[in-house]
Structure 1
Amino acid sequence: MAYYAIAPLLCTLMHNELYMHLYINQTISGPNTNQLVVAPLFFGLTAINDWTILDGPGPNASVVGRAQGMHFQSGHIREKWYTSMNFLFEDTRFNGSMLQVMGTTPQDDQWAILGGTGEFVAAEGIVEHKIVQVDSTGRIYEIKIHAFYIPMNSSAKYRRNRIRNATHRLIVILGSLELNKCMASWCAAPM
């Protein structure tokens, strides 16, 4: 007996498109430090981060999540950092949802969105990041998230109706072919 099952996808998956404009606060020194160097070398320096994600750049901004992960010095000739982290959302709307992000960090660039959980299942896209403030304690990144994800909260009835409607259109197009009976019986089967 096989330990897996593979089935063809008979309809396209619905995707949602996500845009977010947020800020990340990276604090490297002071009382509110949110990262820790764990391998203090120049080339290969490694830091663990728990940066705050904010809805604005100012002191009155609200925390909407955390950027948790690690980054390390990966450029030998030019300063470049490899970054791998999860954006874990804590706000009311997306509480518990997560986007997984990775890429390099020069001044301004993009990180890839490789996946997600909660509201953002199977997310993919990009995060444009730009350093907008630097001082002796850290820096603030402006981030613009653009992603596509599969909403997993649609009801079975909604999915069943979409499949039936698509199948009905196919039957009408095919006319009186014998396939009509097969498709109609498949469409009536419980899901």
Structure 2
Amino acid sequence: MAYYQLAPVLCALVQSKVYMHLYLNQVASGSNPNPNQLVIVGPSGEFGTTAVNDWNITIQPGADNPPVAKAQGLHMKSSQTKDKWYMSFNIEFQDARFAGSTLNVMGIFPENGEWNIIEGTGAFTMAHGIIKHNIIQSSCEKRVFELKIHAFYSNMTSSQASPCNRWTMRA
């Protein structure tokens, strides 16, 4: 007997798509800085420098707006020759509609581009997609990213059901 079982899906999962237009506020100093814990391996700002972050995500640009989510995770300088940082964080929603739901994100910044959505929980169970990000403000004190979130997810508590529901287990 095999140590695994395969269950082919005879019907596609019922998936939904979400699009959100939000702003990530990375504030280093000023009246409302984000908490960061810097772990320095070698000279500060050089290869291997790691920071733990807790950034506010808002529906309008600017750190003074109330957060609808938090970006909590870490980023580390991953290039010896360029200003590239690998980052991995969870977006944890705080607003009433998606409270406690998360999107797990990873990618490279500060360059404009895309980050991967590799997983989700709560309202965004089994999420996958991308976040298109643009830096719209940048100074010594703060950086504001415009986020365009595109994700597919399967709501496991949904009353929606696929028209066929036959699974076959086999070794």
- Where is the helix percentage greater, Structure 1 or Structure 2? 1
Q: What residue is the counterpart of 1:184 in the other structure? A: none
Q: What residue is the counterpart of 1:74 in the other structure? A: 78
Deviations 1:165-190 (A, max 9, x none): xx9xxxxxxxxxxxxxxxxxxxxxxx
With normalisation by structure 1, the TM-score equals: 0.77
Could you tell me which amino acid in structure 2 is paired with residue 10 of structure 1? L
Q: How does 1:78-117 map to 2 (within 5 A)?
A: 78-117=82-121
Q: What residue is the counterpart of 2:51 in the other structure? A: 47
Per the alignment, do residues 30 and 53 of structure 1 end up closer, same or farther by CA in structure 2, a change over 3 Å counting?
Answer: same
CA distance in 2, matches of 1:150, 1:4: 24
Structure 1 unaligned blocks of 5 or more: 168-191
Q: What residue is the counterpart of 2:38 in the other structure? A: 37
**How many aligned positions are there?**
163
With normalisation by structure 2, the TM-score equals: 0.85
Deviations 1:93-136 (A, max 9, x none): 11000000000003211100000000111111101111111223
CA distance in 2, matches of 1:83, 1:26: 13
Is 1:123 equivalent to 2:127 in the alignment? yes
CA distance in 1, matches of 2:57, 2:63: 13
Q: What residue is the counterpart of 2:25 in the other structure? A: 25
Bigger RCO of structures 1 and 2 (CA < 8 A, at least 6 apart): 2
Q: What residue is the counterpart of 2:161 in the other structure? A: 159
Q: Which has the larger radius of gyration?
A: 1
Q: What residue is the counterpart of 2:145 in the other structure? A: 141
* CA RMSD across the alignment: 2.3
